[in-house]
């Protein structure tokens, strides 16, 4: 087993009720070196970040010897939709991600996380698909000019009517045609679509550059052990396919995680450690 806990990023997905500094201190205590930052108020609200704010964040990271690996702007729950047929909404959404790319560059984060948006349920999927392709293309081109790569994640059907599985994700990436656009494997979205790691490898292969490793029933974005998904099978398959990127535990589903987010991260880290140790024992 070549996978290790060093590939797990620290993440603030369940820290919305705690100060940003508490999140950073917890990540140091948990021996995380790289972070995936969720761009949401009050933690790290991208539209409101000033140059002074970013300078302060850089200092806080340097003091703790932490690095940002990926920045994920809020793009599902907030009024952000790069595929919208409403011109002002689509334009403001693209502008948000252009600003997020600037923040990535300022904080030396190599990855910007994207999702495809959605069209209205009663309009042509083809029209919304093209708007998404155009928007992702504009964002990735701008991010690339700043030295930042992008990764695109499929969403559950309740979240998007455009990209819900690995074949659609591959079509979207091919339609955008940007060499610095990669794929995200999210275990909950994968399970919701009835897919496996093998399916993702078949359709995307080396394009998989980031993994949201999260438990569910099959959905729910739970800490490992609180759901029913097969962590051991997932990590064994990813190892077999030679995955060398990073993982993030995206804890959302249970509101109690926000009361004690560090405990949930510890639970998932322990489960991951046990899973890779179990694979080693089997080998």
Determine how many CB atoms are found less than 10 A away from the CB of residue 28. Answer: 14
Residue 78 confidence (pLDDT) above 80: no
C-alpha–C-alpha distance, residues 162 and 119, integer Å: 8
% of the chain with per-residue pLDDT over 70: 98
The residue-averaged pLDDT of 232-241 equals 97
Q: Identify the pLDDT of residue 1.
A: 83
pLDDT confidence bin for 253, thresholds 50/70/90: low
CA 148-2-213 angle, 5° bins? 60
Q: Identify the pLDDT of residue 224.
A: 97
**From the CA atom positions of the chain, what is the Rg in Å?**
18
Residue 142 confidence (pLDDT) above 80: yes
Q: What is the dihedral of CA 237, 182, 211, 60, to 10 degrees?
A: 150
pLDDT confidence bin for 2, thresholds 50/70/90: very high
The pair of structure tokens assigned to 128 is 């919304």
Could you give all domains of the chain from N- to C-terminal order, each with its CATH number? Answer: 5-282 (3.20.20.150)
C-alpha–C-alpha distance, residues 218 and 25, integer Å: 32
Which residue reads 């926000």 in tokens?
A: 258
The residue-averaged pLDDT of 267-283 equals 83
Q: Identify the pLDDT of residue 278.
A: 80
Angle between helices 231-240 and 197-204 (to 10 degrees): 30
Total residues found in the chain within this entry: 283
Strand positions, DSSP E, the chain: 8-11, 34-39, 67-73, 111-114, 149-152, 181-186, 208-212, 246-248
Pairing between strand 208-212 and 181-186? Answer: parallel
The SS3 assignment for 163 reads coil
Determine how many CB atoms are found less than 10 A away from the CB of residue 187. Answer: 27
pLDDT confidence bin for 77, thresholds 50/70/90: confident
- What does pTM read for this prediction? 0.95
For 30-46, letters b (16+ CB in 10 Å) and e give: eebebbbbbbbeebbeb
The residue-averaged pLDDT of 147-161 equals 97
pLDDT confidence bin for 280, thresholds 50/70/90: low
Nearest to 214, CA basis, from 9, 49, 67: 9
The residue-averaged pLDDT of 238-253 equals 94
> In the predicted model, what is the mean pLDDT of the chain?
95
Nearest to 282, CA basis, from 245, 243, 239, 242: 239
Residue 254 confidence (pLDDT) above 80: no
| pLDDT tens digits along 82-134 | 999 999 999 999 999 999 999 999 999 999 999 999 999 999 999 999 999 99
Q: Identify the pLDDT of residue 279.
A: 65
Q: Identify the pLDDT of residue 101.
A: 98
Which residue reads 């024992």 in tokens?
A: 281
């Amino acid at each position: 087993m070549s996978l290790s806990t060093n590939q797990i990023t620290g993440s603030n997905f369940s820290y919305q009720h705690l100060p940003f500094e508490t999140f950073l201190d917890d990540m140091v205590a948990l021996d995380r070196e790289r972070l995936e930052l969720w761009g949401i108020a009050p933690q790290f609200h991208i539209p409101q970040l000033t140059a002074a704010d970013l300078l302060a964040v850089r200092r806080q990271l340097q003091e703790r010897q932490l690095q940002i690996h990926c920045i994920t702007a809020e793009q599902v729950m907030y009024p952000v939709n790069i595929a919208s047929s409403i011109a002002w909404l689509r334009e403001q959404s693209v502008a948000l991600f252009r600003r997020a790319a600037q923040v990535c560059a300022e904080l030396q984060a190599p990855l910007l996380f994207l999702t495809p948006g959605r069209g209205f349920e009663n309009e042509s999927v083809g029209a919304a698909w093209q708007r998404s392709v155009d928007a992702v293309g504009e964002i990735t081109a701008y991010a690339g000019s700043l030295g930042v790569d992008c990764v695109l994640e499929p969403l559950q059907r309740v979240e998007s009517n455009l990209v819900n599985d690995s074949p659609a994700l591959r079509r979207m990436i091919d339609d955008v045609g940007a060499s610095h656009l990669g794929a995200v494997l999210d275990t909950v979205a994968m399970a919701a679509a009835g897919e496996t790691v093998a399916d993702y490898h078949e359709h995307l292969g080396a394009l998989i550059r980031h993994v949201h490793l999260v438990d569910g029933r099959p959905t729910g974005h739970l800490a490992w052990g609180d759901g029913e998904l097969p962590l051991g099978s997932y990590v064994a398959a990813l190892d077999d396919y030679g995955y060398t990127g990073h993982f993030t535990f995206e804890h959302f589903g249970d509101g109690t995680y926000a009361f004690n987010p560090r405990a949930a991260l510890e639970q998932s880290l322990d489960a991951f450690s046990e899973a890779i140790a179990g694979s080693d024992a089997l080998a």
